[in-house]
Structure 1
Amino acid sequence: MLLSVLCGWLLNGAARAQVPYNVIDWKAPTTLNTYLIQQLHQQSDQRRAAFAAALKSGAAMQAYQDTVRARYRRLLGPLPARTPLKAHVGGKIERAGYLVEKIIYESTPRHHVTANLYVPKGKGKWPAVLLFCGHEATAKATESYQKTAILFAQNGFVVLVIDPISQGERYQLTDATGKPLTRGGTTEHTLLNGGAALVGTSVPAAQLWDNVRGLDYLLTRREVDPDRIGCIGNSGGATQTAYFIGYDPRVKVAALCSYVASGERNLELTGPADGCVQIPGAGQAGLDIAEWPIMFAPKPLLLLAGRYDFIDYASIQTAYHELKQVYTELEKPSRVNLFTYDDGHGISKPKREVAVAWFRRWLRDDGQLVPENNLATLSAEQLNCTATGQVNTAFPKESTLSEQYLGQAQELASRRQPLTYASLTAAIRHVLALPEATVIVPPVEASAEGSVQAKGIAMRKLLLRRAGQPPLPALLALPPNNLPPARSLSGYPTKARLHLLIAPIWLPNI
């Protein structure tokens, strides 16, 4: 018996010439996405219920924070060991009232991080701020980030501005001349995160570790007061900041600018972001992007928003409302605030002024307003820490993330034991998040949706349905005069049923 099951998702997405083969009579490409969004809302409903229960008392909220932190740490997986930073200053630039130093350190052996350190002139211990950059290719040299750092330095803060992975001087996938091989940093993030996921980690975890080691370096500086540490970031840098303040207790004050405040809403509106934003498994762990600022409470936290940002402003308002409830339960309602300006994406002058004033309030104990005057910035070349402009060409033995992930994969392969059929299927179920074999699932029903002829072969159009799962279109090809009724799966011979159900991996336990 000739039996062939062709997955309808592919057929329905093919050219219009193949319309006769279509099984579904609606816009099929939306089906899977709609199903996933429904799953997303179910996960988020569970998260909302847990959060609502935590709002009943301060003790309940603290317990909620503890469980969120524990889930976050499990999600990150094991982080690298602290190894020697081997930090050095590659040069200094004298500016009016402050210095800019060119810093290079190793977050892991032979994996170099480039950064600029802004140091106020004068003596004494200064409060310090980590500034995490958004997705601009120029990273630490971006004009708005330079101006943010300068304004902080003018107000008595040491500032470390770090080049993120795949930006500035830290592209990981380059040719021999240092030219990036991808169309941009976000594409590189996504490619790297694909490799990271295969060995049980993520690009957000790698960025987090770069930033943790950046704070380690900052605390080696004699100019820095270790008890007065802040953190601020814009856009993708705000995501880095959120992940950082949820992990590192040394941070005392923080600000998030143009922050994607709701993972649920963002996935619904625009789909998944690039690989440095979302940690695989967060939804399954019951964690939304709103969770990380909640972990930071009741330390002082400022949200900076543009009313006309492409980032959903309603999500920012919702996140602020949740945070206000959290801080109120923890008896510190004045420590969280939202500043909105009538502009778009980014950390503009009004936002910079409010941010620096916020840090002055909590780290310098004054409420002084902070006006920003004309600030002169430097070129990316002037701020470069490496001689070549890229770590891949400046350090011949640079350990890129892709090389690290390959090494981890090879090490895992060397320890992998042969799997039995049972252990292999269990592992596949776990990795694909399929129901366990012991879970009782509803039966699959196959409805007939007509037939089509192709080169003398009659193919039955089938639509496989199971309650709670998306319908699966398929074609069943049999020898001539051998088309059984298709009201249910029981209408097919046993062998046909077996082969019919091998292909759709999201219909297990049949």
Structure 2
Amino acid sequence: MKSLSAFRYCISLFPLLLCCRLLSASEPIPQELRPWLNGQNWHRDTQGPILELGNPGEFDDTHLFAPSVSYEDGQFSLWYCGSRGTVKQRIFQMGLAHSPDGIRFQKQQQNPVFQFGDAKHSILTPTLLRTPDGATLRENNQLRMWFSSTDFQDPTGLHQLHETTSSDGIHWSKPSPAELKHVYAPTILKTGRTYQMWFTDVSKDPWCIKHASSLDGKKWRVTPDPVLEIDQTWEAGRLFYPTVLKINDVYLMWYGSYWKARKNTTALGFAASIDGLKWYKSAANPIFKPDPDRPWESHYVTSQSVMRLPDHSFRIWYASRKQPPFVNKYFAINTAHWSGPQVEKVATPQQKPAKFTSWKTQTRQKLSQLLGIPDTKVALQSEKRGEFEHEGTVIEKWIFTSEPGSRVPAVLYRPKTLTKPAPAIVLTYGHGGSKSQWQYNYAAQAYAKAGLVCLAIDPIGEEERHLQGKLGTRAHDPKAVHERAWNAGRPIMGKLVFDTMRGIDFLLERDDVDPEKIGVAGNSLGGAVASWMAALEPRIKLAIVSGWAYHNVTLRSKYCTKVPNQRMREICTWPEFLSLAAPHCAVLVMNGDADWIIDSDDDGAAWRGTRSAVSDAANVYQTQGAAGRVQAWFEAKGGHRPYMSHPDALLWIQQHLGTPLLTKQEIQKLPTVNSGRWCDAHQIRLERLYGTDLHQRGATLADFKLSPLSPTKLACLKPEERGTPAFTLEGWLQQIEQTD
């Protein structure tokens, strides 16, 4: 009964019937977003506005809008923008109102409570710092508020982001200097150490929604691409007023646009995301519309604030306009209530074990197509370029053909004496890594000392596959390179994975390699490549995924990793992605629990998610008769380090591939060396970002008394071949564009 229960749990991870629904949908959607993207039944539970224009002569007697609502100590506080004068002459100041229930509000007697102070600039669209679920977040007991400001008499129309602080919500500090240009209607959450902002970019028409991040809430780094643009039939002219929450690792956004169905109106749309960058709009949009039967909100219903209440329902506060002529830019503030989505578990019928194999085959096919993995392979045309011995290890230099127009320099490490075919590992590389970089050179020699064959290739765009033969270039990272490869149907990640697969083809042509004992190991981006290899390559029996995570945080990384992972998550979940390796491949996920390079919010979410994915996948492995073949390993207080050379990595290799020259006990007794001291001893200079004790300088390496090999010593190409199209990123891009 226990095994049957475990199998039912396994199958619950794989909703096979869902595949048919995805194929018929216009756009695949990650599973956890689907409940949120149905229609939203908002109930207007008042008979009139909750906040109206002030009396004649008061600061808000002609215009009021942009509610920002907080709930603290049993009281709702609503800050809003109000103004006198004509539309052209308006200068907005900020008012405050209080309520015991979020519905009945009383304006503060001291209004306005905040103004820019120069009689020119307006206070617009204030937003408070919030926790991911939308609760008010104080720092040093202070409310922290950002707002957009502009001088409506300025013909440039420049809007800039400023901030202010307050302990009581009434007395605010002077506006800060401008922090960012072209910002309107910001919404800001703090996720871990990171401040995340979504805002309306008003630099040009049509307005769109953009994202920015910061480590202090002052210096902002804008994500290059818009996260939301006009692309649904109901939307017209512009997008504006994003409001974002994050509930159970799902980002939720309510946003406004002009509504095509009725002239001179706005309405609210809704979108959801698993990373805050790639958003999926609801097919039921607009989810909130003006009501012609309520004259005070018959035309505009935007400029909103949304809060999740303690009972997990939602309340929205929004500004409205009555019918034209629009004497009042906005006329009133209103509220509505939504009980939230109906989340139902998908009941999956019991399946026979063969269904898992069928699901795996179908999912691998989809993911291979996503990466643009070629259907056919050409002859390797392997050509040996030399051989030498180094400290008891034989090093062979080769080139082979990966695909038409793309050849690969490769170095193979092997023990000097082999009595029978040996296990083998192909290395995969981090950003800027290549066969001569110290951490991969070290790992290759260490594996050979343990009795394995190790293949180290140059990834596309690095070292001998760089136009000028440079190391550490990250030549495949720029957006322009990503777009060229993606548009040709050959994503960069797919190229890295396919070249690694061809490395396995190379190993299988050798008599000294055991074809049943081949694995991959990589760090950082190399960990990502290793994760894809584990998912897609049935010939490997081991994968060491170092310096990477099975979590949505990786969707906020560089183009070569984030875009394929975003698309992958439309097809399967993280546990499912990891479970594609079951039962054939033993996967060890290694990292440090203080690695903020990967866990960019530095709140542990990436590691909690990875542990959860590994735990779920372990159940799948167990039902497939492979218990114990997937594990998560974390070094306490460890950063972004090359863990594939840690003694525990060697123990995993010994257990699942074998280490012909070392027993388990001998590995356990190996001395270790600190990577920083080893690099210093050999005059190896580390990159500034990684060359710290937290990161690469702090790694623990199995100590085989190794010394590094120079790029010149490991060079495979003839002088006349260097920089030629067959060996460069540019040459490959030109080749796939011609083929496409």
Q: Which residue of structure 2 aligns with residue 427 of structure 1?
A: none
**Contact 1:129 1:157 survives alignment (8 Å):** yes
Equivalent position to 2:580, from 275, 291, 295 = 295
SS in structure 2 at match of 1:207: helix
1:395 Cα deviation (Å)?
6.1
Q: Which residue of structure 1 aligns with residue 593 of structure 2?
A: 307
Q: Which residue of structure 2 aligns with residue 30 of structure 1?
A: 198
1:291 Cα deviation (Å)?
4.1
2:273 pairs with 1:40:
yes
Equivalent position to 2:423, from 127, 134, 151 = 127
Q: Which residue of structure 1 aligns with residue 284 of structure 2?
A: none
**Contact 1:130 1:160 survives alignment (8 Å):** yes
2-side partners of 1:85 and 1:161: how far apart?
A: 16
SS in structure 2 at match of 1:355: helix
Q: Which residue of structure 2 aligns with residue 153 of structure 1?
A: 448
2-side partners of 1:20 and 1:97: how far apart?
A: 68
2-side partners of 1:79 and 1:256: how far apart?
A: 24
2-side partners of 1:331 and 1:157: how far apart?
A: 27
1-side partners of 2:368 and 2:618: how far apart?
A: 25
1:388 Cα deviation (Å)?
4.2
Correspondence 1:412-431 to 2 at 5 A = none
Q: Relative to structure 1, is the Cα distance of residues 186 and 206 closer, same or farther in structure 2, using a 3 angstrom cutoff?
A: closer
Q: Which residue of structure 2 aligns with residue 445 of structure 1?
A: none
Greater CA drift, 361-370 or 205-214: 361-370
SS in structure 2 at match of 1:169: helix
Q: Which residue of structure 2 aligns with residue 377 of structure 1?
A: 708
Q: Relative to structure 1, is the Cα distance of residues 389 and 130 closer, same or farther in structure 2, using a 3 angstrom cutoff?
A: farther
1:246 Cα deviation (Å)?
1.9
1-side partners of 2:545 and 2:350: how far apart?
A: 23
Which amino acid counterpart does residue 156 of structure 1 have in structure 2?
G
| 1:423-476 alpha-carbon deviations (Å, 9 max, x no partner) | xxxxxxxxxxxxxxxxxxxxxxxxxxxxxxxxxxxxxxxxxxxxxxxxxxxxxx
Which amino acid counterpart does residue 626 of structure 2 have in structure 1?
K
Q: Which residue of structure 2 aligns with residue 464 of structure 1?
A: none
**Contact 2:159 2:183 survives alignment (8 Å):** no
1-side partners of 2:435 and 2:150: how far apart?
A: 46
Which amino acid counterpart does residue 588 of structure 2 have in structure 1?
L
**Contact 1:100 1:118 survives alignment (8 Å):** yes
Q: Relative to structure 1, is the Cα distance of residues 222 and 15 closer, same or farther in structure 2, using a 3 angstrom cutoff?
A: farther
**Contact 2:408 2:727 survives alignment (8 Å):** no
SS in structure 1 at match of 2:432: coil
1:348 Cα deviation (Å)?
4.0
Aligned residues: 383
Which amino acid counterpart does residue 76 of structure 1 have in structure 2?
L
1-side partners of 2:626 and 2:558: how far apart?
A: 33
Q: Quick one: higher RCO (CA 8 Å, sep 6+), 1 or 2?
A: 1
Q: Relative to structure 1, is the Cα distance of residues 283 and 128 closer, same or farther in structure 2, using a 3 angstrom cutoff?
A: closer
Q: Relative to structure 1, is the Cα distance of residues 120 and 21 closer, same or farther in structure 2, using a 3 angstrom cutoff?
A: closer
Q: Which residue of structure 2 aligns with residue 321 of structure 1?
A: 615
SS in structure 2 at match of 1:259: coil
SS in structure 1 at match of 2:446: helix
1:126 Cα deviation (Å)?
0.8
2-side partners of 1:336 and 1:238: how far apart?
A: 15
Which amino acid counterpart does residue 103 of structure 1 have in structure 2?
W
1-side partners of 2:198 and 2:348: how far apart?
A: 35
Larger Rg: 2
Which amino acid counterpart does residue 111 of structure 1 have in structure 2?
S
**Contact 2:444 2:454 survives alignment (8 Å):** yes
Which amino acid counterpart does residue 239 of structure 1 have in structure 2?
A
1:25 Cα deviation (Å)?
5.6
SS in structure 1 at match of 2:518: strand
1:121 Cα deviation (Å)?
1.3
Q: Relative to structure 1, is the Cα distance of residues 390 and 338 closer, same or farther in structure 2, using a 3 angstrom cutoff?
A: farther
2-side partners of 1:156 and 1:51: how far apart?
A: 49
Q: Relative to structure 1, is the Cα distance of residues 386 and 53 closer, same or farther in structure 2, using a 3 angstrom cutoff?
A: farther
1:94 Cα deviation (Å)?
0.5
Q: Relative to structure 1, is the Cα distance of residues 54 and 266 closer, same or farther in structure 2, using a 3 angstrom cutoff?
A: farther
Correspondence 1:429-468 to 2 at 5 A = none
Equivalent position to 2:408, from 113, 127, 130 = 113
Q: Which residue of structure 1 aligns with residue 475 of structure 2?
A: 185
**Contact 1:119 1:153 survives alignment (8 Å):** yes
| CA RMSD between the two structures | 3.8
2-side partners of 1:359 and 1:30: how far apart?
A: 45
Q: Which residue of structure 2 aligns with residue 508 of structure 1?
A: none
2-side partners of 1:332 and 1:248: how far apart?
A: 17
Q: Which residue of structure 1 aligns with residue 527 of structure 2?
A: 238
TM-score (norm 2): 0.46
SS in structure 2 at match of 1:82: coil
1-side partners of 2:474 and 2:346: how far apart?
A: 37
1:187 Cα deviation (Å)?
2.7
2:447 pairs with 1:279:
no
Equivalent position to 2:495, from 199, 203, 206 = 206
1:55 Cα deviation (Å)?
10
Unpaired segments ≥5 residues, structure 1: 1-11, 410-510
Q: Which residue of structure 1 aligns with residue 205 of structure 2?
A: none
Q: Relative to structure 1, is the Cα distance of residues 243 and 54 closer, same or farther in structure 2, using a 3 angstrom cutoff?
A: farther
Q: Which residue of structure 2 aligns with residue 358 of structure 1?
A: 652
Q: Which residue of structure 2 aligns with residue 104 of structure 1?
A: 399
**Contact 2:430 2:523 survives alignment (8 Å):** yes
1:217 Cα deviation (Å)?
0.8
Unpaired segments ≥5 residues, structure 2: 1-146, 161-181, 188-196, 200-208, 212-226, 229-250, 253-271, 281-342, 600-606, 671-701
Q: Relative to structure 1, is the Cα distance of residues 75 and 146 closer, same or farther in structure 2, using a 3 angstrom cutoff?
A: same
1:308 Cα deviation (Å)?
1.3
Q: Which residue of structure 2 aligns with residue 218 of structure 1?
A: 507
2:560 pairs with 1:265:
no
Q: Relative to structure 1, is the Cα distance of residues 160 and 339 closer, same or farther in structure 2, using a 3 angstrom cutoff?
A: same
Q: Relative to structure 1, is the Cα distance of residues 90 and 153 closer, same or farther in structure 2, using a 3 angstrom cutoff?
A: same
Which amino acid counterpart does residue 287 of structure 1 have in structure 2?
C
2-side partners of 1:13 and 1:390: how far apart?
A: 56
1-side partners of 2:481 and 2:549: how far apart?
A: 21
Greater CA drift, 53-62 or 280-289: 53-62
SS in structure 2 at match of 1:296: coil
Q: Which residue of structure 2 aligns with residue 4 of structure 1?
A: none
1-side partners of 2:528 and 2:389: how far apart?
A: 32
1:400 Cα deviation (Å)?
1.6
Which amino acid counterpart does residue 187 of structure 1 have in structure 2?
D
2-side partners of 1:390 and 1:315: how far apart?
A: 45
SS in structure 1 at match of 2:567: coil
1-side partners of 2:483 and 2:149: how far apart?
A: 26
1:109 Cα deviation (Å)?
2.5
| 1:353-372 alpha-carbon deviations (Å, 9 max, x no partner) | 21122111122286445222
2-side partners of 1:406 and 1:15: how far apart?
A: 46
1:336 Cα deviation (Å)?
1.6
**Contact 1:197 1:280 survives alignment (8 Å):** no
Q: Which residue of structure 2 aligns with residue 440 of structure 1?
A: none
**Contact 2:621 2:630 survives alignment (8 Å):** yes
2:734 pairs with 1:403:
yes
Q: Which residue of structure 1 aligns with residue 459 of structure 2?
A: 164
TM-score (norm 1): 0.65
| 1:191-218 alpha-carbon deviations (Å, 9 max, x no partner) | 3220122223311222222111111111
Larger strand proportion of the pair: 2
2:475 pairs with 1:196:
no
What is the aligned-residue identity percentage? 24
2:376 pairs with 1:81:
yes
1-side partners of 2:158 and 2:642: how far apart?
A: 53
